[in-house]
Structure 1
Amino acid sequence: MPNPRLFSLLLLSGAALLTEPAAAQTPVGLGWARNNVNGAVFRKNSVVTYQREQYTAYYDSVGYVVVAKRRLPAGPWQVQQTKYKGKVQDAHNVISLMVDGQGYLHVSFDHHGNPLRYCRSTKPGSLELTDLLPMTGQQEQNVTYPEFHRFPNGDLLFVYRDGSSGNGNMVLNRYTAHTQTWTRLHSVLIDGQGKRNAYWQACLDPKGAIHVSWVWRESPNVASNHDMAYARSLDGGKTWQKSTGETYQLPITEASAEYAARIPQNSELINQTSITTDAAGMPYIATYWRPQGTQVPQYQLIYLSGKDWKTTQISQRTTPFSLSGVGTKKIPISRPQLLVSTQGDKTAAYLLFRDTERQDRASLAQCADLRQNHWTATDLTTTSVGNWEPSYDTERWQKEGVVNLFVQRTGQGDGETMEKLPAQPVYIVEWKPRAKPPRPSRPAAAPTRR
């Protein structure tokens, strides 16, 4: 359990994330910080709201899974250390959570090519967790990157990789809330054919359609990432189609995929970033790569405009870096998260990120109208968050237009090494547009991981 006295000392000593907050923030407890296992972008979710209860989870200083909840808008956090412990030395082994339409909390944690570790609350609204449970019992021995999404009717989608870097497949399960049962949707939705694997990001739009984009990885070397592909499902994941409406023959392969952008290998293209949609279900993808003929990776936006895919550069960075190598990388910028909102024919966009060029603060770039492509940036924290990457409460954003970020200063060494950083405060940072926001859209899914 977090030590209240130590937590207070950290706050008073200036080790807290926000000394003079640029956005509202509330502390939760102290979390493991020697690597970025608590702060990885692909936590789906790290924070989640159901009705007026908000939940979060993190590993504490010795690796126990901690769950917490509060009553919105500003109730105190109830914090509970669980009986579960994770291999926190591996930054892949994140905790992902979601609440179903019956109010049960679902938790999956500690995966990097390991058997499924999944449990749920013993009753609605409880922080007490069951023993470990199977889902379908199929292909649950080599799990990586677990993530949850909630359908509008309260059912859940669970997605994970079966296999390894350069040779893995995308698996989809669906949970029926009223029967409390899992069923398999696809054992191999995207097939690397034993030669490559897809690193995806997924989201559900306001009507419950599933949108997925991905890069292909040819080997464990991050530099072999290439291209940005796309698929969607309008029937809960059963059948899949391209943006044109053409039906995919499953599984999707490199040859059959629709490409939103062609990006060659060795472009410093990152994997596992962000996809979201506007209110009409049109997809928007945020990532970064180094444009051809340049030396500096830049944040990029890929989006569907009418029938055509467009790409626009968001950032104007000046610092080059390379992604070559394997494992979790220590990278000077985070992978981004993207949110969009619509009002009439205007679409506003918000990019959450961290960059050494902004002193490694949690930052936000915003564009009031994507037709103008004019971006301004602000910092949401006043001090460094180390190697943190953004993850946020997708459900509260979708319903209220409020951004609740999971924020913690974290370390990260190259290739699964760690930094000598003691436990750091975990915060939920709250931000919302100053002007009345347009209608929020259903948001994104989101290390360079292997």
Structure 2
Amino acid sequence: MNCFAAAWLGCPARSSAIGRGRIGLGLWSAIVVLAGCQAPDVAAQPAGGIPRCSQLGAAALRGGGAIELDRVWTGVGTAIGAAATARGQIFAAYFDADRWVTVSRFDPLRRVSCSIRLPPRFSGWDAHNSLAVAIAPDDTVHVVGNMHASPLFYARGTVGDVGSIRPASMIGRDELRATYPRFLHDGNGNLVFMYRTGGSGNGSWLLNRWQDGRWQRIGSIFADRDRKGPVSAYPSTFRTGADGYVHVAVVWRRTPDVASNFAVSYARTKNFQTWFTANGRSIAAPLSPDTMDLVENVGEDAGLVNRLDLALAADGTPVILYPRYAATKGKVRYDAANGPAIVAARPGRGGWRIREIATSRTPSIVAGKGALPNLPAVWILDQQPNSARVRIAFAGRDRRRVQLDLQTLATVPDAGDAGSARPNAVASPAFPKGMEDVSTRQVIVLENGVDGQKVGTLRWFAQVAHGDKPRSCSSTAPVACDPPAAPLLWSAGKTP
């Protein structure tokens, strides 16, 4: 969207167009005046290789023992990348108050924070533009993100010097339409990078491996076609079992509309090249709906949402959680009138056993393009050998927590449900007035950023997804189009 269109839709946030030189400051100021807003500050271009360091004293302390590291942009919530070194230093990649990609290294013991701005700047309001950080076994720091079907942005440096983090080339091919950056580990502990190339409903997923100081292409992991035509995969969190197998579940889609999600499937691997179904049948990559272990084929317009998760029982058996419309009794049919449900699925001798563990109190429609708010979702908060604490979100304010038995798929209310008196030990920033659909966001910081121990939590606030479109200012939300920056709060320890 150009700046003129953004101005008519509402007060524009700090314009990335200035940083890219598309329009001059005078013209931008005129546009802002027409939109009835105050002119934004013109942010400085990144100073390559020169970190900005500060001692975080008493002024940075917040309630609950949290420390304010920086200020972040809040127009729309995007994922912050974070990782901890073996010595406890925290690396975070985020969009600062002026939308620049910023990487900070924070030493909790000395309370010293050093940050550096990198060249890309967040433009628009696309909630897909997440950032990711990982620390490889050779102590290199890897940063990637700020893209949605756009050229891959990648930077790397060393843990000892945040100023060493510079833009770099990764592989150099199949990187013009990249989305959903994700770091993983293979069975040998090597750092692996996965991303989608192409678009929603027509995109394949590629893997690279960091080895001997460079990235090497492993190959394609999820295909962009099945027997009926173009598709794209939406994978769950990858979970690694005690036997070294990496497990993943996938929701498959045919078009950019979420209503075209049509099936859930599963596979496991140790090397991301040879894959297996739950009963041990070998599958060749790239994986597709035709080759993977089919969990449930609900068809299109069945309310299937690509916000799924996966847990592993004590014996290594996968349990998959995903939202779809509740089934009509006695029929294999899923109707919006039934309302959304959360499904748990576990493999058995006769195929996958499926149980609806929660249903929405009100019907809602699963349809639309872009990053959509209020879609049903499910997350695994933590787990014991044969049980998992699960968070469930339906439209509106319908939020629940349950304890899921990973053997029987039975549930009981969790002691930490919203109606209990369980205290929240993690400090959260207070919301300012005048924003629209604002919520607290968080990322749990892991050692190495992939699958290490939990060392703390980063929290901030931001407006929720809005179909990747700009928000307009209004009498009820006068700062929605140019919201104030949020404090980025660090709290040590595990999140509740």
TM-score tier, shorter chain, comes to 0.7 to 0.9
Cα deviation for residue 109 of structure 1 reads: 1.3
Structure 2 equivalent of residue 54 of structure 1: 90
Cα deviation digits, residues 189-234 of structure 1 (max 9, x gap): 3332452211112414155433222111111111111221111112
Contact 1:98 1:106 (C-alpha < 8 Å) held by counterparts: yes
Asked whether the 8 Å contact 2:273–2:284 carries over to 1, the reply is: no
**Most deviating of 378-387 and 255-264:** 378-387
Kindly indicate whether the alpha-carbon contact (under 8 Å) linking 1:38 and 1:59 is maintained by their aligned counterparts in 2. Answer: no
Identify the match of residue 211 of structure 1 among 244, 247, 250. Answer: 247
Equivalent residue for 1:320? 363
User: Percent identity between the aligned chains?
Assistant: 22
Write the letter of the residue equivalent to 1:142. R
- Corresponding residue for 1:410? 462
Tell me whether 1:351 sits opposite 2:390 in the alignment: yes
Deviation track 1:32-77 (CA, whole Å, cap 9, x = no partner) reads 11112246xxxxxx332331333222111221122233446x6636
Runs of 5+ in structure 2 lacking a partner? Answer: 1-42, 44-51, 329-336, 419-423, 432-436, 472-479
Kindly indicate whether residue 119 of structure 2 is the aligned counterpart of residue 84 of structure 1.
Answer: yes
**Pairing partner for 1:301 from 344, 358, 367:** 344
Query: For 1:236-271, what per-residue CA distance to the aligned partner results, in whole angstroms no more than 9, with x for missing partners?
Result: 212111111111133322222211233332232221
- Give the C-alpha shift of residue 93 in structure 1: 1.3
Alpha-carbon deviation of 1:147? 0.6
Alignment-derived partner of residue 167 in structure 2: 132
Q: Does 1:69 align with 2:108?
A: no
What corresponds to 2:379 in structure 1?
Answer: 337
Cα distance change of structure 1 residues 365 and 118 upon mapping to structure 2, 3 Å threshold: same
* TM-score normalized with structure 1 length: 0.77
**Deviation of the 1:356 alpha carbon:** 6.4
What is the 5 A alignment of 1:42-441? 46-51=81-86, 52-71=88-107, 76=111, 78-89=113-124, 90-121=126-157, 123-151=158-186, 153-176=188-211, 179-187=212-220, 189-193=222-226, 194-207=229-242, 208-234=244-270, 236-278=271-313, 280-293=315-328, 294-304=337-347, 308-331=351-374, 335-343=377-385, 347-352=386-391, 358=397, 365-367=401-403, 369-370=405-406, 371=408, 372-376=410-414, 377-378=416-417, 380=424, 386-387=438-439, 391-395=443-447, 400=453, 402=454, 404-412=456-464, 414-419=466-471, 420=480, 421-428=483-490, 432=494
SS in 2 for 1:301: strand
Counterpart-to-counterpart distance in 1, 2:287 and 2:186: 23
Give the drift of 1:403. 7.3
**Alpha-carbon separation, structure 2, partners of 1:77 and 1:84:** 24
Decide which structure has the larger Cα Rg and report it: 2
| Residue aligned with 1:140, SS | coil
Conserved? CA contact 1:214–1:230, under 8 Å: yes
Instruction: State the partner residue of 2:73.
Output: 32
Structure 1 unaligned residues grouped into runs of 5+: 40-45, 435-450
Task: Give me the whole-angstrom Cα distance separating, in 2, the residues matched to 1:369 and 1:433.
Answer: 22
Give distance in 2, aligned partners of 1:399 and 1:187.
26
* 302 and 86 in structure 1: CA distance in 2 versus 1, 3 angstrom threshold: farther
**Amino acid across the alignment from 1:417:** K
Runs of 4+ in 1 over 6 A off after TM superposition: 381-385
Aligned to 1:43: none
Deviations 1:68-123 (A, max 9, x none): 33446x663624132233334222111111111122211001111122211111x2
Question: Which is richer in strand?
Answer: 2
